[in-house]
Amino acid sequence: MLRPALAPLILAAVLAAGPALAQTAPAPATPAPTPAYGRTITLAEAKTVVAAAEAEARKQGWTMVIVVVEPNGALVMSEKMDGTQYGSNDVARRKAETSANFRRPTSYFQEAVKGGTLNSIFSGAMAIEGGELLIIDGKIAGAVGASGGSGAQDGQVARAGAAALK
């Protein structure tokens, strides 16, 4: 028979051991090192990026806003395809700025939010797919942002634009 005086001690021991027995989520993967900033993207290169992104959007039947920014987030070029909703102007720009400012695609933040390792409001970062880095000579020359469809569609268009520089 259990003495009443020992019951609180046993309860405390069981509660203290509970977290040790609980399943824990695996540690998040360490992100790959991000490239350093390099020279600024030129207008001619930005036009190449936008043309490739627009071609992908048209091929898929989507309308998009496509924005290219310098490494510091300054606007180089913005294109709104006919029929794209007005709200996509700001979203595409913010996706491009997020990628440039944080040196990673916006999908990184989306996955971190989904995994519970990052608050969805992280210093103004857009935590949705559609912002990609523009890499020239192994360094960040700017970023591209796309908006107008789902996050996955925006990401597909932005990646097509970024691939045009490779």
5 within some domain: no
- State pLDDT tens for residues 112-147: 888 877 665 556 788 899 999 999 999 999 999 999
What's the total number of domains in the chain?
A: 1
The CA distance from 119 to 121, in Å, is: 5
The CA distance from 126 to 146, in Å, is: 12
H helix runs in the chain, sequence order? 7-21, 43-60, 87-102, 106-114, 151-163
22 within some domain: no
How high is the pLDDT of residue 33?
64
SS3 27: coil
What is the span of the domain harbouring residue 98?
Answer: 43-163
107 within some domain: yes
Q: What is the CATH number of the domain that holds 82?
A: 3.30.450.150
Per the model's pLDDT, the better-predicted residue between 52 and 2 turns out to be 52
- Give the predicted TM-score (pTM) of the model: 0.78
How high is the pLDDT of residue 151?
95
The CA distance from 40 to 19, in Å, is: 50
- State pLDDT tens for residues 16-32: 444 444 444 444 455 55
Q: Which residue has the tokens 């989306």?
A: 110
